[in-house]
Structure 1
Amino acid sequence: MGRSMRGAYVAVIAGAMSVTTATMSAAVTPAAAPKPGTERITLSATGEHGNDGSFGPEFSADGRYLTYKADPRPADGRLGPANVHLRDLRTGSTRLVSESVTGGPVTDNDVTVSSIGPGARRIGLSSYSAQLVPDDTNGTSDGFVRRLP
């Protein structure tokens, strides 16, 4: 469970759906809003439900953005490593944060969020993945900063 810094939102992710690039399953509940409610935030850009687990929600300091990890299950049925996604709660858009150097999700190891900078323009990640930057051959967990436009 994640809570926004000012306490306006609470994120709850319960084992259900997942992604094929940007399809996930979680809910954001306004904790202190005029109209309390729950909104599913882990849907694809086309509104499709996921097919495996989503977890580890983290809010930006202003509560506008939410990152979470989601396990992809490609068409071949294998469970892939968890990738990080960013949901803009104002616009409803979702994007892949842990994009590999070749494009698309990382396919060799899970990726975890360590921090979210102001406006979600920089996101701290950690992973054993060798696919987040070129020439990562040390075979151990590294820290990364993903800069977003």
Structure 2
Amino acid sequence: MHDALDGMLAPLADGDRYSEFLAIQHAARLPIEDWFDAEIDVLRPPSQTGLIATDLAMLRVGPSRNSPRFCPQSSAEAIGIAWVLAGSSLGNRVILRRRKAYDGGMATCFLADDAMPSFWNALRPRLERPANERDAECALAGARRTFEHFISVAGDNTSKLAA
């Protein structure tokens, strides 16, 4: 699933389609952040949508107003969801280097933010601990649900932009 999502987003992150990449990130992350705000007190990744909105404003693009709902089956999926969001910060650092080479790093508040990589470093020991079968299944379900959500948002947004 990661490869499928990367294949959809990587071409947008470079060059002139960067605002599309950011719009997809915002549309996908907003309902996930809303879910964490409503449901989860622990394992909450740092909010990124404000940073993305700032970047979009710098590019004179508004964030999407159409974000699909994000509905995990249980709060036990939170660690898998957090894993996907936090792990994405590793790829964001690669994109940041490419953006700096392309345009000096304009509108990269989201990519350059240190909060998510710090969260990733704090989350890793928990991810590396052995888990019972139920917890592992819930974590995997949360990760899959998050990837599916991002893929759906990316597909919806790229098809609308191509039309």
Query: Which protein is richer in strand relative to its size?
Result: 1
- Structure number, greater radius of gyration: 2
TM-score in terms of structure 2 length: 0.21
TM-score in terms of structure 1 length: 0.23
Query: Which protein is richer in helix relative to its size?
Result: 2
